Structure 1
Amino acid sequence: AGAYQSLGIAGVSDSVFVTGAGQQLTTTYGFNGGYTHNWDPYWNTSIFGAWAAVRYNGTAKGYICGAFVASLALSSGVGGCNPDFNYAVVGTKTSWTPIKNLTFTSELAYLMLDQKYAGGSTVTLPLQSGIAKPAAVYELKDQNSLVLLLRAQRNF
């Protein structure tokens, strides 16, 4: 209630540098898989999926929450700040190669961001001139997207 829209915040790094504590390594886990079936020399279909998790240690979380997220006026305060997240995708792709070196592809994927900020938390974003989001209060929520990609590729 009172939020303009929802927003997902997630960032990936090898480590976080904290003054006085040095490099704080990021822990990540991930699994990927896929299968391609060749129907004939011209057509193939693939299915694929992936899941990943990003975890920060306590020192890195304290720095991220104190230096970055606090400047966004997190409604639940630093106690509700947790930059850890999970990410997943599942999809299918079909390709048609009518002649050598020319391929038409259609790909449909469902992407999911599972962020770990406290439920119902909001942030106040300043004006983002590079994107089409006004300065407003946004609710931090998990984000899901359905993506369709159509491609024509010619190799020379």
Structure 2
Amino acid sequence: GFANAPDTVFVTGSQQETVKTWGFRGAYTHNWDPYWNTALYGAYAQAQFGTLAKTTLCGAGGAGGVFGGLAGVTGCNPDFAIGQIGVITRWTPVKNLTFSADFNWTHLDQKYSGTAVLSPAVNTAKPTAVYELKDQDSFTLLLRAQRNW
């Protein structure tokens, strides 16, 4: 998946255009007893680029510009949405010591399609290769021990 969320897009010789974003999040925690609790949480957000930004990045009709002109890119639209759902369980055996297990799913709904040859920076773990532009899902399990003083 490929997405970025700048505050604005500036076009030399033209104007600066803001990127519209919105989102929400929420959670519910159930206390099983004084030592155990479980929370269910979720979030959803969207980024929507304006006409000037889309034309600059993708060209007229999505076939040019900075990204739309790359070989292999069959659809160019920088808009995207991201959603997340998770569950966390915490155990607090004594005051100020908590062990937790947090599992979540994140989904990136990006609007690009096709393929692109990318050469990431040297400080990333990705090699230079042909990457498919498509939606992406990731699953994370975080185990944590926290001591407060």
- TM-score, scaled to structure 2: 0.88
Matched to 2:33, the amino acid is D
1:98 equivalent to 2:115? Answer no
Write the deviation string for residues 82-133 of structure 1: whole angstroms up to 9, x where unpaired: 1110100001000111111111111000000010013xx1001125422222
Cα displacement (A) at 1:138: 1.0
Matched to 2:55, the amino acid is G
Aligned equivalents of 1:76, 1:12: Cα separation in 2 = 20
Cα displacement (A) at 1:20: 2.2
- TM-score, scaled to structure 1: 0.84
Aligned equivalents of 1:97, 1:58: Cα separation in 2 = 51
By relative contact order (CA 8 Å, sep 6+), the higher-ranking structure is: 1
1:89 equivalent to 2:84? Answer yes
Identical aligned residues as a percent: 52
State how 1:141-156 maps to structure 2 within 5 Å.
141-156=134-149
| Match of residue 133, structure 1, among 117, 126, 144 | 126
| Match of residue 72, structure 2, among 62, 70, 75 | 75
Cα displacement (A) at 1:76: 3.2
* SS of corresponding position for 1:83: coil
2:61 counterpart residue number: none
Cα displacement (A) at 1:74: 4.2
Aligned equivalents of 1:16, 1:98: Cα separation in 2 = 50
* Cα RMSD for the two superposed structures: 1.6
| Match of residue 103, structure 2, among 97, 108, 119 | 108
State how 1:22-41 maps to structure 2 within 5 Å.
22-41=15-34
Please say which of residues 46-55 and 130-139 is displaced more in the overlay.
130-139
* SS of corresponding position for 1:123: strand
Question: Does the CA contact (< 8 Å) of 1:128 and 1:135 recur in 2?
Answer: no
Question: Does the CA contact (< 8 Å) of 1:128 and 1:134 recur in 2?
Answer: no
* SS of corresponding position for 1:35: strand
Evaluate the alpha carbon distance shift between residue 127 and residue 51 of structure 1 in structure 2; reply closer, same or farther with a 3 A threshold: closer
Listed as ranges, the gaps of 5+ residues in structure 1 are 1-7
